[in-house]
Chain A
Amino acid sequence: MIKMKINGQERSWDGDPDLPLLWFLRDEIGLTGTKFGCGQAFCGSCTVIVDKQAVRACITSVSDVVDREVTTIEGLHPTGDHAVQKAWREVNVPQCGYCQAGQIMQAAALLMENSKPTHDQIREAMSGNICRCGCYQRIENAVHLASTGV
């Protein structure tokens, strides 16, 4: 039996320990905010935060997060008002919106590590997250807004 904490809640799994965390979240416990995009960590749609670091849930096994603390988009902020989420709304970032949970989690992780990233650092840190609609200019501006308030 694998035990972990997801969004502050104890969870357990007694199936295949190699099951990607992504499918455990989405299919087994119904946290569908984390999205499937590529299955190989190329696109970042499935980004979650494990112990303060951004992780691609599609290539992370359930057994990798034993006794760890996993945060998904649903648990990022109790009322959905994390600075990054607010900035995303302020800048009207999303088009289709599918990749945005992963983008927001990546941005939140970046700001935990570096509270005032430069534009270059933002572009560097966010370069693992693909947006096919092409919201990049707004993503960059929203991360900047979240970190500086302007």
Chain B
Amino acid sequence: MNIITNPKKLRGIEGRIKVENVSRRSILKGLGIAGGLVLAAPVMSRQAFAAYQTGADKMPHGTVVDPRVFVAIASDGTVTIVAHRSEMGTGVRTSLPLIVAEEMEADWSRVKVAQAHGDEVKFGNQDTDGSRSTRHYLIPMREIGASARTMLEAAAAKRWGVPATEVKAVNHEVVHSATGRHLGFGELAADAAKESVPAVEGLKLKDPKDFRYLGKGQVSIVDLRDITVGTAHYGSDTRLPGMKYAVIARPPVTGGKLVSFDGTAAMKVSGVEKVMEVQGWPWPSKFQPLGGVAVIARNTGAAIKGRDALKIVWDDGANGKYESAAYRTELEAAARKPGLVVRKEGDVDAALKAADKVIVGEYYLPHLAHATMEPPVAVANVKDGKAEIWAPVQSPGGTREDVAKTLGIPEENVTVNVTLLGGGFGRKSKCDFALEAALLSKALGAPVKVQWTREDDVRHDFLHTVSAERIEAGLDKNGKVIAWRHRSVAPTIASTFAAGAAHAASFELGMGLVDMPFEIANIQCENPEAAAHTRIGWFRSVSNIPRAFAVQSMVGELAHATNRDQKDMLLELIGSPRIVKLDSVKDLWNYGEPYDSYPIDTARLRRVVEVVADKGGWGRTVPKGHGLGIAVHRSFVSYIATIVEVSVGDKGKLTVHQVDTAIDCGMFVNPERIQSQIEGAAIMGLSLAKYGEITFKDGKVQQGNFDDFAVVRIDEAPLVTNVHIVPADTDTPPSGAGEPGLPPFAPALANAIFAATGKRIRALPIGKQLET
């Protein structure tokens, strides 16, 4: 019996050491594949209220603004509001319905949230990725709420025979103040439903000064109680009568194939019922299953034990030689040679030649696994040409499409029920696990749950890319930076969609490379080729991780080289308050948003630096052996700056004493959830900085669980994390909060380590680098 008296004993090897970004389908556009974009005509135009435009209507199926789709009022007054995005911890399942409730004057305590199934024609785009739910849906949700309110008010005015202008919805009822009459929403529900949906142009949105919920942070997530009592329903919690439990042995090398298997021993395991082949698709095939051998059992434990007893022969295929150390050398060599020019201002070659001093920084960042606490899992019931799926997916609509294609049945015969997600981080934008369940259920004629183990998750992930970043900065005699060349080389996510893709897609270039905001006369960004040898996918904040690390570490290097304060150096490089012009960048990708509404505004960038410096006590005296580091990065059209205080003790023991982060994400809905996202980003940032690394040998991932792919635990977490939300007025377009907290953390930490020790970290993870 394994009684845990000292949990540390079970931690494994001691001392070892998006959401996503682009919609899984809008990537098709970036790759130049025709027909990828399907726009549903929105019920109403979006122009009426917003002082800004978003890219919402350019997403697959656009937006739907219709209170009849999103709001239902019962005669007892219960208001049900549909959440059509997936909840993976950001609080979106609360925030979006809260916007509707605010605008329709519903009392939140009488609101129920219903989770939409996957149906983008009905609900509009459902891809919960790219930190865009609030920024795309703030206005549509307000319009939906305002429509519902207007219909309730019209129904009440008719009942009383007074002009609609004399009545007003207030806190779950409509009142006629002249006569003191009032009717509850429940009493008006039936009549309101008969009212026509008002034209969006005539809607009146609430004055923000009357907001009761938006921007206040007083509302807890709707699933809070269920989570604390164990009744919250995740993907793995679905149970159907007659359901079988399956685990799958997948080809250990990407692109590998099953040659033969012997399931005799597996079948002898108590509880195992069947061993069978699962169809696989050749690599790359987007999100199609890898194939392999499935063990079907009466419970998951028996299935796992059965799988351990399988004897399988694989053909590893062309990626069987993938080896991380050699690949790193290849990437670094590529970064030292000219590559495809993706941004060019002035003449970098001449300026570097003329420079008084050239500082070169070479940075390396490895593959990362998502390691969501809930490994991929899905339940499918395929019967009579219809399929029903229960799964923790970030892409309910895409999952429905892919299940239909995989089974060869029409989309209307597929129902995708979206459970809570035990973490997402971009992994669950790829629905391969749901497709596996669908294939197995079809073959067995019974409901099936496919459970990935942690080892399956780590070894068969769509990994964060691996990259070499090389920056050359030329300084004049006065220490002013006059030249900046950044080469970024990494296998592209596009390689998961199209064989042979070797250059970054425009959405990857736009994440911290070509959008670099510094005011320097001569800038050149280059993207040499890199071949992929495994499945590459979106990981929370994506290419911003390596780019922010390189750029912001380089700022620290330049500060040191010119004997200046890091923050002063940073502000000098950002330069004057202005809108950055990127005319030389072809197909500039601005997180899918129109540049007019979401430009790179260096005044906002400067402001988060100044706010964090002020609130986080930049320049304070720290104890001997401690150091402060700072970094700033714009991503997902938000502006974020972080200060880290660190100390490095005996044997390189790293202690993070304090983290301060300032975020400007425009108008916000729930500051309390923004705070939690930023607190969490510090932990994830520290995890990837200290430990995060997936390596390959003979084409196989060498890690498998939290012993060799370690993440930060509570006893090494920052002692204090402070979040400073820069207030924005309601005219400032909302921007991302889920992902942008991550990129500045690691470079702020590296700059702090340098301040504390004089040791410059240029490759992640830190691992044992501080031990000597």
Tell me if B7 and A60 are in contact (CB < 8 A). Answer: no
Query: In chain B, residues 218-258, which have Cβ atoms closer than 8 Å to a Cβ of chain A?
Result: 220-221, 223-225, 227-232, 234, 236-237, 239, 245
Judge if B58 is at the interface, Cβ distance under 8 Å. no
Judge if B559 is at the interface, Cβ distance under 8 Å. no
Contacts of B705 in A (CB 8 A): 38-40, 42
Q: How far is the CA of A26 from the CA of B245 in the complex (A)?
A: 11
Tell me if B300 and A26 are in contact (CB < 8 A). Answer: yes
Among B229, B711, B720, residue most surrounded by chain A Cβ atoms (within 10 Å):
B229
Question: Whole-angstrom distance from the CB of B283 to the nearest CB of chain A?
Answer: 27
Over the window 1-42 of chain B, the binary record of Cβ atoms lying under 8 Å from chain A Cβ atoms (1 yes, 0 no) is: 111110110111000000000000000000000000000000
Judge if A64 is at the interface, Cβ distance under 8 Å. yes
Judge if A147 is at the interface, Cβ distance under 8 Å. no
Tell me if B302 and A19 are in contact (CB < 8 A). Answer: yes
Question: Whole-angstrom distance from the CB of A32 to the nearest CB of chain B?
Answer: 4
Q: How far is the CA of A43 from the CA of B707 in the complex (A)?
A: 10
Contact with B220, one of A55, A89, A129, A137 (Cβ below 8 angstroms)? A89
Question: Whole-angstrom distance from the CB of A109 to the nearest CB of chain B?
Answer: 8
Nearest chain A residue, comparing its CB with the CB of B9: A128
Tell me if A39 and B453 are in contact (CB < 8 A). Answer: yes
Over the window 350-381 of chain B, the binary record of Cβ atoms lying under 8 Å from chain A Cβ atoms (1 yes, 0 no) is: 00000000000000000000011111000000
Q: How far is the CA of A88 from the CA of B275 in the complex (A)?
A: 43
Among B7, B231, B374, residue most surrounded by chain A Cβ atoms (within 10 Å):
B7
Query: In chain A, residues 21-52, which have Cβ atoms closer than 8 Å to a Cβ of chain B?
Result: 22-24, 26-28, 30-45, 47, 50
Judge if B518 is at the interface, Cβ distance under 8 Å. no
Judge if A112 is at the interface, Cβ distance under 8 Å. no
Given contacts A27-B301, A98-B234, A136-B683, contact A92 B221 (CB under 8 A): yes
Q: How far is the CA of A55 from the CA of B2 in the complex (A)?
A: 6
Question: Whole-angstrom distance from the CB of B338 to the nearest CB of chain A?
Answer: 40
Contacts of B88 in A (CB 8 A): 96
Judge if B679 is at the interface, Cβ distance under 8 Å. yes
Given contacts A19-B302, A23-B299, A55-B2, contact A97 B227 (CB under 8 A): yes
Nearest chain A residue, comparing its CB with the CB of B455: A39
Tell me if A72 and B7 are in contact (CB < 8 A). Answer: no
Tell me if A132 and B711 are in contact (CB < 8 A). Answer: yes
Tell me if A130 and B373 are in contact (CB < 8 A). Answer: yes
Over the window 101-140 of chain A, the binary record of Cβ atoms lying under 8 Å from chain B Cβ atoms (1 yes, 0 no) is: 1001010000000000000001111111111111111111
Contacts of A45 in B (CB 8 A): 373
Q: How far is the CA of A50 from the CA of B236 in the complex (A)?
A: 24
Q: How far is the CA of A35 from the CA of B373 in the complex (A)?
A: 9
Given contacts A40-B707, A43-B706, A89-B220, contact A129 B714 (CB under 8 A): yes
Q: Which of B104-112, B408-416, B419-427 contacts A (4 or more CB under 8 A)?
A: B419-427
User: What is the total number of residues of chain B having a CB less than 8 Å from a CB of chain A?
Assistant: 77
Tell me if A140 and B680 are in contact (CB < 8 A). Answer: no
Among B236, B304, B455, B718, residue most surrounded by chain A Cβ atoms (within 10 Å):
B236
Tell me if B299 and A132 are in contact (CB < 8 A). Answer: no
Given contacts A42-B706, A137-B718, contact A92 B220 (CB under 8 A): yes
Contacts of B684 in A (CB 8 A): 132, 134
Tell me if A35 and B454 are in contact (CB < 8 A). Answer: no
Tell me if A40 and B8 are in contact (CB < 8 A). Answer: no
Contacts of A37 in B (CB 8 A): 373-375, 454
Judge if B55 is at the interface, Cβ distance under 8 Å. no
Contacts of B223 in A (CB 8 A): 94, 97
Q: How far is the CA of A88 from the CA of B220 in the complex (A)?
A: 11
Contacts of B677 in A (CB 8 A): 95
Question: Whole-angstrom distance from the CB of B95 to the nearest CB of chain A?
Answer: 13
Contacts of B714 in A (CB 8 A): 122-123, 126-127, 129, 131, 136, 139-140
Tell me if A16 and B682 are in contact (CB < 8 A). Answer: no
Given contacts A55-B2, A55-B4, A73-B229, contact A130 B89 (CB under 8 A): no
Contact with A72, one of B220, B230, B301, B718 (Cβ below 8 angstroms)? B230
Contact with B8, one of A92, A122, A128, A135 (Cβ below 8 angstroms)? A128
Judge if A145 is at the interface, Cβ distance under 8 Å. no
Contacts of B751 in A (CB 8 A): none
Judge if B451 is at the interface, Cβ distance under 8 Å. yes
Judge if B399 is at the interface, Cβ distance under 8 Å. no
Judge if A144 is at the interface, Cβ distance under 8 Å. no
Nearest chain A residue, comparing its CB with the CB of B232: A97
Contacts of B231 in A (CB 8 A): 33, 74
Judge if A15 is at the interface, Cβ distance under 8 Å. yes
Question: Whole-angstrom distance from the CB of A127 to the nearest CB of chain B?
Answer: 4
Judge if B630 is at the interface, Cβ distance under 8 Å. no
Contacts of A31 in B (CB 8 A): 230
Judge if B64 is at the interface, Cβ distance under 8 Å. no
Tell me if B237 and A32 are in contact (CB < 8 A). Answer: yes
Query: In chain B, residues 256-310, which have Cβ atoms closer than 8 Å to a Cβ of chain A?
Result: 269-271, 298-302, 304-305
Question: Whole-angstrom distance from the CB of A96 to the nearest CB of chain B?
Answer: 3
Judge if B183 is at the interface, Cβ distance under 8 Å. no
Contacts of B534 in A (CB 8 A): none
Given contacts A32-B236, A36-B300, A130-B373, contact A41 B713 (CB under 8 A): no
Query: In chain B, residues 695-719, which have Cβ atoms closer than 8 Å to a Cβ of chain A?
Result: 705-707, 711-715, 717-718
Contacts of A96 in B (CB 8 A): 87-89, 372-374, 420-424
Question: Whole-angstrom distance from the CB of B685 to the nearest CB of chain A?
Answer: 9
Nearest chain A residue, comparing its CB with the CB of B677: A95
Nearest chain B residue, comparing its CB with the CB of A134: B683
Question: Whole-angstrom distance from the CB of A117 to the nearest CB of chain B?
Answer: 13
Nearest chain A residue, comparing its CB with the CB of B683: A134
Q: How far is the CA of A131 from the CA of B43 in the complex (A)?
A: 41
Tell me if A128 and B10 are in contact (CB < 8 A). Answer: yes
Query: In chain A, residues 49-87, which have Cβ atoms closer than 8 Å to a Cβ of chain B?
Result: 50, 53-56, 59-60, 64-65, 72-74, 76, 80, 85
Contact with B7, one of A59, A92, A125 (Cβ below 8 angstroms)? A125
Contacts of A35 in B (CB 8 A): 234, 236, 373-374, 422
Nearest chain A residue, comparing its CB with the CB of B718: A137
Judge if B676 is at the interface, Cβ distance under 8 Å. yes
Judge if B672 is at the interface, Cβ distance under 8 Å. yes
Q: How far is the CA of A92 from the CA of B676 in the complex (A)?
A: 9
Question: Whole-angstrom distance from the CB of B303 to the nearest CB of chain A?
Answer: 9
Query: Which residues of B approach A to under 8 Å, CB–CB?
Result: 1-5, 7-8, 10-12, 87-91, 220-221, 223-225, 227-232, 234, 236-237, 239, 245, 269-271, 298-302, 304-305, 371-375, 420-425, 451, 453-455, 672, 676-677, 679-684, 705-707, 711-715, 717-718, 720-721
7 pairs of residues in contact across A and B, judged by CB atoms under 8 Å: A16-B270, A42-B705, A53-B3, A54-B3, A76-B229, A88-B227, A128-B713
Besides A44-B7, A136-B717, 8 other A-B contacts (C-beta < 8 A): A16-B305, A54-B3, A127-B11, A127-B715, A131-B373, A131-B683, A132-B372, A134-B682
10 tightest CB-CB pairs across the interface, nearest first?
A33-B230, A128-B7, A134-B683, A98-B422, A96-B89, A23-B301, A95-B89, A73-B230, A134-B680, A97-B227
